[in-house]
Structure formats: C-alpha cells, structure tokens
Structure 1
Amino acid sequence: MENCWHDVRATFFTLGWVAERYPRLITRIVSEGHELASHGYEHIRVTEQTPDQFRADIKKSKQILQDIAGQPVIGYRAASYSIGARNLWALKVLEEEGYLYSSSIYPVKHDLYGMPTAPRFAFHPENTETLLEVPITTLKILDKNIPCGGGGFFRLYPYPFSKWAYRYINSVEKQPGIFYFHPWEIDPDQPRQQNLPLKSRFRHYLNLSKVESRLNQLLRDFRWDTMQNVFLKQSTVTTAL
C-alpha cells in the first residue's frame, strides 16, 4: 500500500531486531513523515522478563532505532500487549528509560493478554510521573469491553461494525481511537504454516484477503495521525491504576 493514496501518517512500532537487519526500512518510515516507536528488541513478552531484562531490552531497542532514524523514540508497545495487572512495574521502567508514552495494555479479557479493569482511554499510571498509557481501543457493551482496535478482530468483524464502533467512540464518547495491524495481515499469499492448532490457524489466516480493501475504506472514513500527535496533545487525561 502506498502512503500517497490517503496522505495518512502512522506510528510504526518496530522491533530493534528488524531495524538492525533492514535499516533502509527505518529511514523510509521517518523520511515519509511517520512516527517511529519501539516494539522491544525481539518480541519477547514482558511477562517472560525480569525487571532488569525488560530494562535492558527497551534500552537496547530504543538506542538502535534512534541511531538509525536520527531522531528520538518516545513510544513503546509491548509484545502481545503483555503489560497488565501483574507487571505494572514495567510502566515505571519505561518512564525511567525516557519513553513518554506506552500503548501496551488491552482492557479486555483474552486468553493471551488483557487487563479488563484498566481504563479504556489514555491515562497516567499512578506509579509514574509523566508517562502516558494509551490502551487499545474497546467498545463497552453491557458492562463488557469489546475489542475493536484492529488486528484479528478487524478481520473477524464485518466492516460496518468496525465503522460504527469508531463513530460511536468519536462522536458519543468524544475520544480518539487506535487502529493497529501487522504487515502480514495484508499479505493473503503468505506461506501457510502446517500442523497449527485449529485456534491458531483461525486467528492467523481469517479473512486475510479482505484486509486491504477494508483498510482502504477505514482510511477514507476517518482522519488518522501518529500516536504522538493525537495523544500527547490531549488535555483531558485521567490518573489511574
């Protein structure tokens, strides 16, 4: 997909491992006006790291990205949204290492991640002074948070539902929304892994052929910008956790 189609700026949460091997990809991201942010070094879940290991990981990835891009990296997203109720200490470590925001908490109940008691919208965690946590977008229905921020759920839901959800969040709740996707989700011809569990196969390959057309529609239906431009300029942010 070409950026010039919609003139949209986005945030690329990028692995340090990828940046080391494809530095031209990093320079292209920043040269086209996008925001470069950290996704850790090699996609290890925070739940599998000690505080010292986590600090080393986010410090290493930040330095690699900044050295290649020639500009500050202030945002972070944990692998598999792996910051939650049991490891909120990670948010303080992020702040200490110079990050200004994180988008690592998904306020839903899920078998792989999630913190359903977390705020649905951007907030300052109580254990930090300045760090902003920007949870992945959800829709509250009958006291339950429904995930609608992109990824596999964007492939699962009919597009009209996703459009309605973002319209509701924008117009009724007066909040910006987050949308995310992975590069492989716009590649329906990718090699098919064999002998995967049924659940994994369903989650990974569902509706890959529909993502690009839905994404183009989403870009036409809403205005988008980088995480930094949208969320660090907000004045109405709560303190929680």
Structure 2
Amino acid sequence: MLNAMTIDVEDYFQVSAFERHIARDDWDRIPCRIERNMDRILELLERHAIRATFFTLGWIAERHPRVVHELVAAGHELACHGLAHVRVTQQTPASFREDVRRSKALLEDIGGVEVRGYRAASYSIDRDNQRWAHETLYDCGYRYSSSVYPVRHDLYGIPEAPRFAYRPLAGVEDFVEIPITTSTLFGRRLPSGGGGFFRLYPYALSRQAIRRINRREGTAAIFYFHPWEIDPDQPRVDGIPPRTRVRHYLNLARTEARLERLFQDFHWGRMDQVFLEPQGVSVRR
C-alpha cells in the first residue's frame, strides 16, 4: 500500500499557536531556520527513495526560493499552504479567495510547476466555512484539498466528516477533500496522521494505526509533519501558556529518529500520486 507523505513548510514562529505572541509584522526580523531544516528533510527522503508533497507557505517561497527549487528538482510535489498561515476561520470568502489565488500563482511562478493541492493553516476548514472554501479552491484551479481533520479537537476538526477521501462538492467529480488519517477505537476517532500526536504517542502506536488503515481498512494513510519538528535547537518562545509549550516542544529531539523508522516501515509517495493518478485509491462518495 502506497501512503502519502506530506510536509507543511512553515517555520517555528509561524505556527498558529504563537499568533498572540509573535506578530506577523515581526516575521522578517526573526532568523529563519527553514533552509537548514528543509535540507535535512530532503536528505532523509532521498536516502529512503521517498517522494513527498510539500504544502508550502507563499511567505517562505518568496523569501527562500531555493527551498522551492530544490524540492521540485528532487521530484517532490509542490502544493499550497496559503500566503502567511492565516486560518480560514479568520478570513472572509473574499479574502480567502485572494489568498489562495495569489499563493498558487506565486508558488507556480517560483517552482515552474502546476500547483494542484492546498492545505489550510491548522486544518481550519470547518463546518461553517467548508462549502464556500471548497467552492473557492475549485474555482481557483485546485484539484484537491487536505484541510479537514475528522476528529473532535479544541482547535480544529469536523468530527462527523468522512475519514477517507471524498468529493465535497455536489456534481463535481474532479475535486476531492483528503482528510488527515484517523483510526477508530471503541467508536472514537483518534488522530493517527502525524504532527504533535506522533511526538506524543509511542512510535509503536502510530505504526499499529497505519498498519490497520492499510491492511484492515484497505486504504492509504496520510502523514504530515513540519520542518521545525526535527529542530530541537530552535529558539524558545517566551510567555506562551504551559499547554501550548508542551504541545510544541514535546519530544522534538526524538522526531527525526521516529521518522526514520516510519520511512522504513511503510511505502510513501506524493499526494497526487496516491490520490489523483489513475491507479490511486478510490474516493468515497
């Protein structure tokens, strides 16, 4: 089973949890660590012969075009993460349209390839905005979104959304939403697709969940992580709440070794390869 490996290309100071502590106007004055972390990720992927999808911020691409050039040259998929990591829940339909239109054009101009995929900041397509957000993405030329997390969470999620790839727009066959992977236990959905939960859980639990998805449910898993998650030496942000501090910094020193095991234990490919190509997995209706 070929699973989808994805990376959300943003730096540590751009995460939504730090919005109240680091102003976007200050981003240009903060030393960016994205290039060193991306170099390491590309090296890891190359060593394991994995091609992945990189959901990239327009802000990063504009200031660090080498990152985009190198991931495209290595055969990875370039996809969109918006301009400046603004959650969809903080945008109007008009501002969202401008954001996804501009960021797609910017990435395509720098990368020289078509951008077909989009992932919202912090999985912020929710119950209230999902209809107009998906319609806007389709109108702007995207083929898929990976912006819904079908779990109950204090910061995001549509717990009743389908767990597997589905067509969110009635009558539209060539646009799909591809939710992050969840597993089920006693009727409850559990996050099983990476991020902070991958750092929190023992590795064996993540491996078991993905194996179950592949073998028992017969479908591909989608995994994601961030470049800052392999960077335990990143500067610490002062004044953040204890819960946020734990979520962001937990087990950073162990992430790279866990990723090595994950790369060895499963087969991984690009989102478009897994879900859009003719041999890709089926889409639920």
CA RMSD of aligned residues (A): 1.0
Match of 1:10 in 2: 52
Match of 2:284 in 1: 238
Q: Give the counterpart letter for 1:107 in structure 2.
A: P
Match of 2:37 in 1: none
Counterpart CA distance in 1 for 2:127 and 2:61 is 30
Instruction: Give percent identity, aligned residues only.
Output: 56
1:68 aligns with 2:110: yes
Q: Which residue of the other structure, out of 69, 94, 99, is the alignment partner of 2:137? A: 94
Counterpart CA distance in 1 for 2:192 and 2:215 is 16
SS at match of 2:267: coil
SS at match of 1:124: coil
1:188 aligns with 2:229: no
Match of 2:150 in 1: 107
Q: Could you state the TM-score of these two structures normalised by the residue count of structure 1?
A: 0.97
Q: Give the counterpart letter for 1:111 in structure 2.
A: D
Q: Give the counterpart letter for 1:136 in structure 2.
A: I
The 5-angstrom pairing of residues 1-241 of structure 1 reads 1=40, 2=43, 3-88=45-130, 89-127=132-170, 129=172, 130-233=174-277, 234=280, 236-239=282-285
Match of 2:35 in 1: none
CA contact (8 A) 2:219 2:281 kept: no
More off after superposition, 156-165 vs 118-127 = 118-127
1:119 to partner: Cα distance: 0.3
How many residue pairs get matched?
A: 239
> Which ranges of structure 1 fall in alignment gaps of 5 or more residues?
none
CA contact (8 A) 2:183 2:192 kept: yes
SS at match of 1:36: strand
CA deviation profile, 1:82-125 (whole Å, cap 9, x unmatched)? 00111011001000000000000000011110000000000001
Counterpart CA distance in 1 for 2:66 and 2:238 is 32
> Which ranges of structure 2 fall in alignment gaps of 5 or more residues?
1-39
Counterpart CA distance in 1 for 2:117 and 2:152 is 24
Runs of 4+ in 1 over 3 A off after TM superposition: none
SS at match of 2:78: strand
Change beyond 3 A, Cα 1:48–1:213: same
Match of 2:15 in 1: none
1:4 to partner: Cα distance: 2.5
Q: Could you state the TM-score of these two structures normalised by the residue count of structure 2?
A: 0.82
Counterpart CA distance in 2 for 1:108 and 1:236 is 22
Q: Give the counterpart letter for 2:158 in structure 1.
A: M
